[in-house]
Structure 1
Amino acid sequence: MPLVRTGELVSAARAARRGLAAFNVITLEHAEAVAAGAERAGAPAVLQVSENAVKFHGGRLGPLAAAATAVARASSAPLALHLDHVESVDLLRQAHAEGFGSVMFDASRLSYGDNVKATADAVRWGRERGIWVEAELGRVGGKEGEPPLDAHAPGVRTDPAEAAAYVADTGVDALAVAVGSSHAMTERTAALDHGLITALHDAVPVPLVLHGSSGVPDDEIRAAVAAGMTKINVGTALNTAYTTAVRTHLTEDTTSVDPRKYLTKAREAMTETVTAFLRLM
């Protein structure tokens, strides 16, 4: 079916007080697994391509975007295409031409004032092209190249009053907030601050986004959605499933040289992970 706009899927999920899962795509197998998992679960999903994934593919957005778009259009599930954690303005400007309906513009490394200015500029650019823009306030941490960050350290979590001012000053369509999760967690041990999620939901007029959801247990995700979280980002959980399947296959069959054999297992493992997260929502 045709690509669906991320904003449409987020708005529908928010109105129904349910979560919308967004999955990071690095390879063609990732995209195929998201589509297959969405079809199994009978649920919508978002295919996300991060700036780091673009760097992995030689700095070229087009090939991976084209593959993800083709997979989405061949699927019977409602799927959207999202460009995630974009720090480069040059990459941001490529989003519209490559078919992305939404972008997460990440100016969180900047000072608050510079973050507001850069994000407001990105929002204005997006509005002119019908692109839905997400931003981040607070420090989720755990991204590659960043120093370790304690998700429970003072000053890390998003302040509701500051979040309300930030949304008003930037005009963003959604806000990723720091409430106790962290990127790149391989164990599901994160404990979220559900009282803070409720306070942020009450203070901010736009949908809230949870980054680093791979490390959040099922019950915590359910409680986060009930407290007001809408878009739930998942990346590392797919990579864990992928790598574990490949490692197991190559350990059990040391003579295997056909990548289709272990990539089939990797894709199926990711599909099961996607299905489980979508049913959880």
Structure 2
Amino acid sequence: MSVVSTADLVVTAADSTKPVFAFNVVTLEHAEAIAAGAAAAGTPCILQISHNTIRFHRGPAAILAGTVAVARAADTPLAIHLDHITDADLALRAAELGASSVMFDAGALPYADNVAATADVTRRAHELGLYVEAELGYVGGKPDAPASAHAAGVRTDPAEASAYVAATGVDALAVAVGNSHAMTEKTAALDQGLIGRLRSAVPVPLVLHGSSGVADEELRAAVAAGMTKINVGTALNIAFTGAVREVLASTDKVDPRPYVGAGRDAIAAEVQRLLSSL
């Protein structure tokens, strides 16, 4: 199965009633598990690799090469995306590394600097054939974000979002609507009305980061209100870690394959569940 483009999956989702899921790859086993879960559900999805994961692997080459190899061998169409890339040079290497899209994150900069940096990266990325996502507003759970996703002024303003997309030329926009990164419990309360207003104001697909903390019914409502791309990371790590702990508690053997394999299977099951639930 050939690797497909993020743009194709997002555009298809935007024209349908179902979202496209983007799952975070941290290790090669994550990529294998996501591919297996997508095949079991019979649903395409996006494999995304964050800047933090690239730092963990001490560079992008190995983890991207492994993820691309998994996608090429998969039974279901998969796209490759670089997520939360804060370095412009790395963002512009996305195509060279095998990705068809990049989320350039200039959210820590003042608004005017964010617009300027994102517009420059987007223009150059488009010349390379890349699909570009950006973020406006402050999604909780990041070191540079406010402590609460519900703090005053952190949510994405529809008028500002419209102006931001026009000024930067981005192809998709991640928004802050009460969502928060790295949540381990599904207790996030999304502002569904705001999602609807953003959908009306913004001419590009909307992206929900921090979806691991959102209950399934809340996700369904968000999709109905206008969300197109749904990012999931922490939920996979919870599944993986839980399975690993269970195996380690029952054995004194040191071969990592049994517990890593159990973690991989747990991720695959969670991916299949999520893809089949919306």
| Same fold, TM-score > 0.5, yes or no | yes
Aligned to 2:268: 271
Do structure 1's residue 259 and structure 2's residue 256 form an aligned pair? yes
String of CA shifts for 1:143-190, please: whole Å, max 9, x gaps: 3x4466211111010000000000000010000000011000000110
Aligned to 1:99: 98
Contact 1:179 1:193 in 2 (8 A): yes
Name the amino acid aligned to 1:65.
L
Unaligned runs of 5+ residues in structure 2 are none
- Aligned-partner SS, 2:217: helix
- Aligned-partner SS, 2:219: helix
Contact 2:178 2:188 in 1 (8 A): yes
Measure the CA separation in 2 of the matches of 1:6 and 1:147.
Answer: 27
Contact 1:120 1:169 in 2 (8 A): yes
Contact 2:50 2:83 in 1 (8 A): yes
String of CA shifts for 1:58-84, please: whole Å, max 9, x gaps: 1x1011001000000101101000000
Aligned to 2:214: 216
Measure the CA separation in 2 of the matches of 1:65 and 1:180.
Answer: 31
Name the amino acid aligned to 1:101.
S
Contact 2:210 2:232 in 1 (8 A): yes
Measure the CA separation in 1 of the matches of 2:44 and 2:18.
Answer: 12
Describe how 1:135-146 pairs up with structure 2 within 5 A. 135-143=134-142, 145-146=143-144
Measure the CA separation in 1 of the matches of 2:236 and 2:123.
Answer: 33
Q: What's the % identity of the aligned pairs? A: 60
Aligned to 1:117: 116
Describe how 1:160-175 pairs up with structure 2 within 5 A. 160-175=158-173
Aligned to 2:25: 25
Runs of 4+ in 1 over 6 A off after TM superposition: none
Measure the CA separation in 1 of the matches of 2:179 and 2:203.
Answer: 22
Contact 2:180 2:213 in 1 (8 A): yes
Q: Give TM-score, length-normalised by structure 2.
A: 0.98
Aligned pairs, number: 278
Unaligned runs of 5+ residues in structure 1 are none
Please state how far the C-alpha of 1:17 moved relative to its aligned partner: 2.5
Aligned residues: CA RMSD: 0.9
Deviates more, 1:34-43 or 1:89-98: 89-98
String of CA shifts for 1:94-138, please: whole Å, max 9, x gaps: 212111100000001111100000000111011101100000000
Contact 1:17 1:228 in 2 (8 A): no
Name the amino acid aligned to 1:27.
T
Name the amino acid aligned to 1:114.
D
Q: Give TM-score, length-normalised by structure 1.
A: 0.97
Describe how 1:122-161 pairs up with structure 2 within 5 A. 122-143=121-142, 145-146=143-144, 149-161=147-159
Name the amino acid aligned to 1:263.
V
Please state how far the C-alpha of 1:93 moved relative to its aligned partner: 2.5
Measure the CA separation in 1 of the matches of 2:246 and 2:144.
Answer: 30
Measure the CA separation in 2 of the matches of 1:278 and 1:96.
Answer: 26
String of CA shifts for 1:17-75, please: whole Å, max 9, x gaps: 211100000101000011000001110100000000000001x1011001000000101
Measure the CA separation in 1 of the matches of 2:159 and 2:227.
Answer: 17
Contact 2:108 2:144 in 1 (8 A): no
- Aligned-partner SS, 2:245: helix
